[in-house]
Structure 1
Amino acid sequence: MCVREDFLQFVPVYNLTGKNLANVLTESLEGYGINLQYLRGQGYDGAAAMSGRFKGVQSHISKEYPNAPYVHCAAHSLNLAVSGSCNERPIKNCMGTIESVYSFLNTAKRQAVLKESVETMKAGSPKPRVEKLKQLCHTRWIARHDSVLTFLELLLPVVDSLESISEWEDRVSATNASQLLCAIRHSEFIVSLHVIAEVFSKSLPLCRDLQKEATDLAAAMSSAQILVQALVEMRSKADIDFNDIFLRATKTCDAIGVTINLPRLAGRQAQRCNVQTNSPEEFFRIAVFLPFVDHFLSELNSRFLSHKTLLTSFMCLLPSEESLKVSARPSREQLTQLETLVDKYSFDVGTHHLGAKGELEIWYRVVSQLENKPKNALEALIRCDPIDLPSIHTLLKLLATLPVSTSSSERSFSTMKRIKTYLRNTMGQDRLNGLALLNIHREISINTDEILSRLAEEAPRRINLRI
């Protein structure tokens, strides 16, 4: 079994109110012959027109189809958590410097200087795996992680390139290169860069997992919880973990000829952290590392709170190994959660509470005898017999099809940019949707003879297709 996310069409919208967007959405789906009585989930980003509680799209659709709960795109939630945590002053300044360096070097002439620096670095150590910086994109989720990690890997060639450009006769380029070079050689920037790279290296697997079509809400929340646990452990062992980060930052500073020093302390604590210490490591641990990790943890817990609330009732369908070791029967709380699901999805389940509870007890015994316990809804759905346990099978199917992210929908806009270029800007809506379907659904084989026969029968053309 697999979850499919298929592109249908691009729809022109002229009124961006929540009610009109909901009407366009339902009318488009009905135009494709889709029975909306089987609508069991809505997935959008957090824009007010889409997620508003009173006038948003999800509110209007939920009133008409109450069994279709709204799920905020988990990938957007992670992106917002990353954006919110990067508002700490040292982290924000570091990200801004990374973006400025990319914009400055993103020309053919300056990029050639960077490439030459990378080639000269290959004779020494370490050998960079990439030769070009990546843009610090604010909309593509995984690009922000990759841009920071790539910048850290190319830090030495970037410094060498900026030193070369700062000696050019071009006054503007030389001045900007010197300013960026001073910003990069700052102790706070080097430490902040290593802190961001360390935290982003732990959140990158979750970012990749949330963009898969096969992931379900239970697996996504499990991955998010693993990230939270990793950050909590990092926070509890801040002295040890930051010591490793500080040692790497010190080596980087030695390579570019910089010494990590304490910044100047302000007379009063107004705009920045004043830590009374003589140790640079302790200062940056308190001023940079701990606030960033704490803010990231807070953002993750708050952004994914609605997902955890929605998933609470469904967790009774996926018993953990710890609970099965205690007892192979569901607890009273799990039975209560099942009753909530049966009441909410009575149209789909079609059975009484007692029948569903009996199936849940049998399901727990089946799972306890399995050597490899199911970890997500799809694995559980494969092992659940739809004939013997129809209610549990239906609820697992609902859990597997709840929307997790809108990554596939976001990628469709990339397809539209490849199809509707400036040279094809006058194409009609039907042609745009047809070309998009051809480009996205490439796995479908097409019979060219059948297409030509159909085109020949539709309308008279200047080209004779009947030959």
Structure 2
Amino acid sequence: MINQEQKQCKSSTDSAWTETGITDLKNFQAKVKKHNSREKHLNGFIEFSMLGKVDIMWQLDSDYHHNIKIYNENVSKIGLSKTIQNELLESIYEVCLNFIRSELSKANFLAIEVDETTDKINERFISFLRPKSHSANDVTAAVLCELEKMNVHETPEKLIAQCYDGAPVMSGHKSGVQTRIREMYRNTHFIHCYAHQLNLIVERCVMGNKQVWIFFSSLEGISTSFSRSSSRTAILDKVVKKRIPTCPQSVRWNFKSRGVTTVYKHQKEIVECLERNIDDDASDYKTINKATGLKGFLQDADFLFWLNSFNTILSSKLGRSLGTGRPTAKRGRFTESRIVCAPNVCDLITTQIRERFSFNDHLSIAQLFDPLLFAEHQTIFPDKELKTAVNLFNLQSSDLRHKLNMLYGQKDFMKASGALTLLNFLYDNNLAKAFPESVKLLQIIVTFTMTTGEAERCFSMLKRVKTLMRNTMNEDRLSALAMCSLEKELLNRPNFNEMVIDHFAAQKGRRADFVYKQMK
């Protein structure tokens, strides 16, 4: 019975269209016309066209169209409350983070920058953090949490460098943040921010010596005295023809060196400006008192001694800084104290320099790709630098040595302007596979971060984002707005708006509808 029913079913349908195929090509067009008019074919065509769509009955129903219209009108009436704005910013922030995660997963090496307040090597903003306290333990926990959020913990060998300023909490060798981070990420070498180097050494001297502290306090008083008055600034521009640097938060590491140099070069002119302020009939008693005090500092033997000393130190001529400041009859007791303080200050500076430059292997490795040294390397191969690179980053010594000799032998490569230019050249000309170890080492060199300047610049952006009208902003909203301001190129990527909308609409627990319905 079953076989007979199957035969009857096959006979009722044209098996040539489903099983055997058309063999009679002479009558093919006639068969096509006949098949297109068959009821079974038309029913199948309708069902295929409606696949995944609303039932035919609902599409033809006028109430269905009316309900969709009312629903979409209600969606359009939804306003942007504070909660919706925050969730939209959160969606923008998460989409940007997804882009950054994708970039991190494709990158071969990573480095992190952290502070308290771009060519083909990309620097990306992640977020502003508020740790529970400023202790090394809490700051480390906050940094590790962000690294885990960006999936860096899945490939810990990629993270090869960390760059902080000279605060003991960050740079401590025993229990600082850099030491704790390296316990989790073994290859993460600590590099002290090179933009802070000498300035932080000077600040350490300030904290350890009262005379030096008084000197820098007086120096800052000179700069603020002129910067806070337009009339005094006009006198300074007329006499000195140069402004005395103030101490802005965005570039505070440059203040002391520039301030010392300016006051040292224009000492007599600044005294003349102060005398004009004193003699000006329009000056009030506070201005006269302050100008008189600053003039006394500029003529004081102790102030002049430290001014000359630190000008020499900050000009990298430390050896001549102690031969100044002859004793006088009236100031003999101060001269004697200077003789005691000056060697202590020099010892402290020397100790701090050695500590901050304790890791400099990245500088010696960079000499392998210094085009100015290629001719010298061709004659005498830099075995010491090669050995350092191989030991630090587990490279193949023989292959790297062979490829470096080839680079040193090419005169055209001597015209490169640096490691980044050479790396881009190898990629642009499809030579990366021919020089695998060299490319890997070049990637490491250009990934090593030297300053936290980019992290510092983020805080100048805060003046535009966190204004006085927004001083109660929470941390998540602040990070989202900062991401929009700092990473504008991510917002211009294709389909970015659609991705944000999808992320926003997909969040659960909503009482209102945010997605329009379309008639299918």
Alignment of 1:364-383 (within 5 A): 364-371=405-412, 372=414, 376-382=418-424
SS of residue in 2 equivalent to 1:273: helix
Aligned counterpart, 2:121: 3
- Contact map agreement 1:85 1:296 (CA 8 A) in 2: yes
TM-score by length of 1: 0.65
**Residues 442 and 331 (structure 1), Cα distance of their counterparts in 2 relative to 1, 3 Å cut:** closer
Larger Rg: 2
Structure 2 counterpart SS, 1:70: strand
Task: Please say if 1:400 is aligned against 2:446.
Answer: yes
Q: 1:193 & 1:3 partners in 2: Cα distance?
A: 41
C-alpha displacement of 1:148: 3.4
Residues 1:102 and 2:167 aligned together: no
Would the alpha carbon gap of residues 433 and 196 (structure 1) be closer, same or farther in structure 2, given more than 3 Å must change? Answer: same
Give secondary structure in 1 for the equivalent of 2:191: strand
Alignment length (residue pairs) = 382
Name the residue aligned to 1:117.
Answer: 235
* Greater displacement, 418-427 / 439-448: 439-448
CA-CA distance at 1:305 after TM superposition: 2.6
Q: Is the 8 A contact 1:18 1:50 kept in 2?
A: yes
Task: In structure 1, give the amino acid aligned to 2:420.
Answer: L
1:128 corresponds to which of 241, 261, 276: 241
Query: Within 2, Cα distance between the matches of 1:377 and 1:44?
Result: 23
Choose from 177, 180, 195 the match for 1:60.
180
8 Å CA contact retained: 1:113, 1:161: no
Query: Which consecutive unaligned segments of at least 5 residues does structure 2 have?
Result: 1-118
Q: Which residue of 2 aligns with 1:424?
A: 470
C-alpha distance 82-7 of structure 1, shift in aligned 2 (>3 A): same
Residues 162 and 190 of structure 2 are in contact (CA less than 8 Å); yes or no, is this contact kept in structure 1? yes
SS at match of 2:122: coil
Partner of 2:143: 25
1:14 maps to 2:132: yes
Structure 2 partner of 1:307:
359
Deviation at 1:47, TM superposition (A): 3.2
How many angstroms apart in 1 are the aligned matches of 2:237 and 2:448? 49
Which residue number corresponds to residue 26 of structure 2?
none
Cα displacement (A) at 1:340: 1.2
User: For 1:10, what is the secondary structure of its paired residue?
Assistant: coil
Give the superposition deviation at 1:435. 0.9
Identify the match of residue 359 of structure 1 among 393, 397, 400: 400
Given residue 218 of structure 2, which amino acid in structure 1 is its aligned partner? T
Normalising by the residue count of structure 2, what TM-score does the alignment of the two structures yield? 0.59
1:461 to 1:174, Cα distance in 2 relative to 1, 3 A:
farther
The question of 1:44 aligning with 2:156 is answered: no
Q: Which of 326, 334, 337 lines up with 1:271 in the alignment?
A: 337
Residue 368 to residue 195, structure 1, CA distance change in 2 (3 Å): farther
Give 2:253's aligned residue.
141
What SS does structure 2 have at the residue aligned with 1:388?
coil
Can you list the C-alpha shifts for 1:90-133, whole angstroms capped at 9, x where unaligned?
Answer: 866543322122344454xxx13313424654xxxxx6144x65
On the 8 A contact 1:75/1:405 being kept in 2, the answer is yes
Q: Which of 287, 291, 294 is the equivalent residue of 1:180? A: 294
Query: RMSD between aligned alpha carbons?
Result: 4.5
Q: Report the Cα distance in structure 1 between the residues aligned to 2:272 and 2:470, rounded to whole angstroms.
A: 43
Distance 1:324 1:6 in 2: 37
Q: Which residue of structure 2 lines up, in the alignment, with residue 336 of structure 1?
A: 387
Which range is displaced more, 56-65 or 137-146? 137-146
Instruction: Quickly say closer, same or farther: Cα 1:62–1:328, change in 2 above 3 A.
Output: same
User: Structure 2: which amino acid aligns with 1:102?
Assistant: S
Identity of aligned residues (%): 21
Between 319-328 and 391-400, the greater mean CA deviation after superposition: 319-328
Amino acid at match of 1:6: R
Q: Distance in 2 between matches of 1:297 and 1:24?
A: 32
